[in-house]
C-alpha cells in the first residue's frame, strides 16, 4: 500500500435532496489533513439508492405541510435512519468494501422543513429539520456518524444553508478564474468563487426552484409513471407561456438580496397548483407547462447572476451539478443567456454531477470530526464560523 493510501481514510457521504428521489451514497478517500494526493479528496464510488415508494410518499406528505402528528414525524425520523443505514451497507457490499474500513459516515438526512430566515415583523423562529436519525445509522452500520449539520449554523445567526460552499471553495477555487458552482437539485443554489479569493470572499444562496416544479408537472402529466423530464423530451415538445412566466418571475423571492434560502415550503405542490390554475395556463398542454417551468428555472438563475453576482465578481466559468445538469434544454438556456460564461458539468473537474452533494457531506463530516468549522458565513449570513453537525459514535460492542 502506498504511503498516501495508508495515511488516508475512507468516508461515506450521504444525502437526499428536496425531490426525495432516493439516497445518494458517495465513497470518498480523504487524506490525513483533509487532502488527498489529487486535491481536497477523491471520489472512489457513488450510487443512488431509491426510497421505497411508501416511505417516499410519507416524506413528501410531511414535507408538503400536510397535517401529521408529532408521533408520525418521530417515527419517520427513525424509519428514514433505518433506510439510510441499509443503503450505506448495501452500497458497501456492492463496492466490496467492508464496513470496518470506513472511518466515518456523514449523513445530511432528509429535509422536511427549512425556514432559515424570518422577517422581524413575521411570526415564527428560524428553524430547520432533517430526519434520518444518525444514531440509528451508527448503530446499524457500526460506523461513527455525523448528522444534523444545519442547526449549528442557524444557532450562529445564519440561515442553515447552503452548506456546500465550503467544499465548492476547496474543489473549484482558482487563482485566476472566477467561477460559480451551480447545483440544480429540487432547489437551485450557487456558490460564487471570485478569482484569487479566500474563503471569506465566497458567497452563496438559493436562486429559487430547480427541478422541483418541473418534476411535479412531469408526475402530473404521466400520472406518476415518470419522475422527471429525461433529456427534456417533454419540454422540447412544448412552447413557453409568456404571461404565466412573466408573472412567476415577479416572485418576491427573486428580488430578495442574499444571503437567502428556500425550499419545498415555497415551491412545492401548492405553488404548482397555483401555477396551473392561472387563467393563462388553463387549457395549456402538459408540454407547454413543463417548457415554461424549465424556462422559469433557467431565467431565475440568470436573474440571480445578473442581479447579485456579476456586479460583485468577474465570472468566467459556471460549474453545474445536480439532476438539472442532465437537462440539455436548461443548460442551453443558461449558456445562451449568460454570454461570456463557459457552462460545464462538474464531472469535467473530477466529481460527477449526481455525486457532488453526497461527496460534500463526507468532507463536512470529516471537518466536524476534527473539530473544525465548515460553514461559510458569507454564504449563510452566520455571525461566526461554526462546527457543524452532531456526532453519534459507533457502538463499542457487536452489532
At residue 40, the pLDDT reads: 62
Confidence of residue 118 (pLDDT cuts 50, 70, 90): low
Confidence of residue 21 (pLDDT cuts 50, 70, 90): confident
Please determine, for residue 349, whether its predicted confidence score (pLDDT) is greater than 90: yes
The pLDDT of 372-381, averaged and rounded, is 95
Top pLDDT among 339 and 38 is at 339
> 190-201: per-residue pLDDT in tens?
999 999 999 999
At residue 83, the pLDDT reads: 98
- The rounded percent of the chain whose pLDDT value lies above 90 is 85
Other beta carbons within 10 angstroms of residue 230's beta carbon come to 11
Three-state secondary structure string covering the chain: CCHHHHCCEEEEEEEECCCCCEEEEEEEEECCCCCECCECCEEEEEEEEECCHHHHHHHHHHHCCCCCCHHHHHHHHHHHHHHHHHHHHHHHHHHCCCHHHEEEEEEEEEEEEEECCCCCCCCCCCEEEEECCHHHHHHHHCCCEEECCHHHHHHCCCCCCCCCHHHHHHHHCCCCCCEEEEEECCEEEEEEECCCCCHHHCEEEEEEECCHHHHHHHHHHHCCCCCCCHHHCCHHHCCCCHHHHHHHCCCHHHHCCCCCCCCHHHHCHHHHHHHHHCHHHCCCCHHHHHHHHHHHHHHHHHHHHHHHHCCCCCCCEEEEECHHHHCHHHHHHHHHHCCCCEEEEHHHHCCCCCCHHHHHHHHHHHHHHCCCCCCCHHHHCCCCCCCCCEEECCCCCCC
Please determine, for residue 374, whether its predicted confidence score (pLDDT) is greater than 70: yes
Please determine, for residue 365, whether its predicted confidence score (pLDDT) is greater than 70: yes
> 272-317: per-residue pLDDT in tens?
999 999 887 888 999 999 999 999 999 999 999 999 999 999 999 9
- The rounded percent of the chain whose pLDDT value lies above 70 is 94
pTM flag (> 0.85)? yes
Confidence of residue 1 (pLDDT cuts 50, 70, 90): very low
Please determine, for residue 130, whether its predicted confidence score (pLDDT) is greater than 60: yes
> How high is the mean pLDDT of the chain?
93
The pLDDT of 118-143, averaged and rounded, is 86
Please determine, for residue 2, whether its predicted confidence score (pLDDT) is greater than 80: no
At residue 338, the pLDDT reads: 96
Please determine, for residue 367, whether its predicted confidence score (pLDDT) is greater than 80: yes
Cβ pair 255, 208 in contact under 8 A: no
Please determine, for residue 6, whether its predicted confidence score (pLDDT) is greater than 80: no
> 205-260: per-residue pLDDT in tens?
999 999 999 999 999 999 989 999 999 999 999 999 999 999 999 999 999 999 99
Confidence of residue 36 (pLDDT cuts 50, 70, 90): very low
Amino acid at each position: 500500500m502506498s504511503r498516501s493510501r495508508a495515511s488516508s481514510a475512507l468516508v461515506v457521504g450521504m444525502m437526499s435532496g428536496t425531490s426525495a428521489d432516493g439516497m445518494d451514497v458517495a465513497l470518498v478517500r480523504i487524506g490525513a489533513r483533509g487532502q488527498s494526493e489529487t486535491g481536497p479528496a477523491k471520489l472512489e464510488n457513488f450510487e443512488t439508492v431509491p426510497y421505497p415508494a411508501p416511505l417516499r410518499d410519507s416524506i413528501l406528505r410531511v414535507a408538503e405541510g400536510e397535517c401529521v402528528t408529532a408521533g408520525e414525524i418521530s417515527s419517520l425520523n427513525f424509519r428514514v435512519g433505518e433506510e439510510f443505514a441499509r443503503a450505506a451497507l448495501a452500497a458497501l457490499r456492492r463496492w466490496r468494501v467492508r464496513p470496518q474500513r470506513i472511518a466515518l459516515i456523514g449523513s445530511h438526512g432528509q429535509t422536511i422543513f427549512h425556514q432559515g430566515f424570518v422577517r422581524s415583523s413575521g411570526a415564527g423562529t428560524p428553524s430547520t429539520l432533517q430526519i434520518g436519525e444518525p444514531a440509528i445509522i451508527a448503530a446499524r452500520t457500526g460506523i461513527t456518524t455525523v448528522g444534523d449539520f444545519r442547526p449549528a449554523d442557524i444557532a450562529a445567526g445564519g440561515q442553515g444553508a447552503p452548506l456546500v460552499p465550503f467544499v465548492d471553495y476547496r474543489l473549484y477555487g482558482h487563482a485566476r478564474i472566477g467561477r460559480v458552482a451551480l447545483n440544480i437539485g429540487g432547489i437551485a443554489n450557487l456558490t460564487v468563487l471570485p478569482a484569487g479569493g479566500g474563503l471569506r470572499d465566497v458567497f452563496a444562496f438559493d436562486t429559487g426552484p430547480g427541478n422541483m416544479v418541473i418534476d411535479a408537472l412531469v408526475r402530473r402529466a404521466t400520472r406518476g409513471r415518470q419522475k422527471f423530464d429525461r433529456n427534456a423530451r417533454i419540454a422540447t415538445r412544448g412552447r413557453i407561456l409568456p404571461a404565466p412566466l412573466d408573472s412567476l418571475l415577479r416572485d418576491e423571492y427573486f428580488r430578495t438580496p442574499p444571503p437567502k434560502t428556500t425550499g419545498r415550503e415555497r415551491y412545492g405542490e401548492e405553488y404548482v397548483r397555483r401555477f396551473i390554475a392561472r387563467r393563462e395556463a388553463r387549457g395549456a398542454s402538459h408540454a407547454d407547462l413543463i417548457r415554461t417551468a424549465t424556462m422559469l428555472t433557467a431565467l431565475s438563475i440568470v436573474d440571480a447572476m445578473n442581479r447579485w453576482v456579476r456586479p460583485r465578481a468577474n465570472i468566467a466559468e459556471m460549474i453545474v451539478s445536480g439532476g438539472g445538469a442532465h437537462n440539455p434544454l436548461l443548460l442551453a438556456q443558461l449558456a445562451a443567456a449568460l454570454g461570456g460564461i463557459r457552462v460545464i458539468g462538474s464531472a469535467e473537474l473530477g466529481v460527477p454531477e449526481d455525486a457532488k452533494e453526497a461527496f460534500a457531506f463526507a468532507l463536512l463530516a470529516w471537518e466536524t470530526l476534527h473539530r473544525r468549522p465548515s460553514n461559510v458565513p458569507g454564504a449563510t449570513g452566520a455571525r461566526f464560523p461554526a462546527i457543524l453537525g452532531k456526532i453519534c459514535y459507533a457502538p463499542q460492542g457487536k452489532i
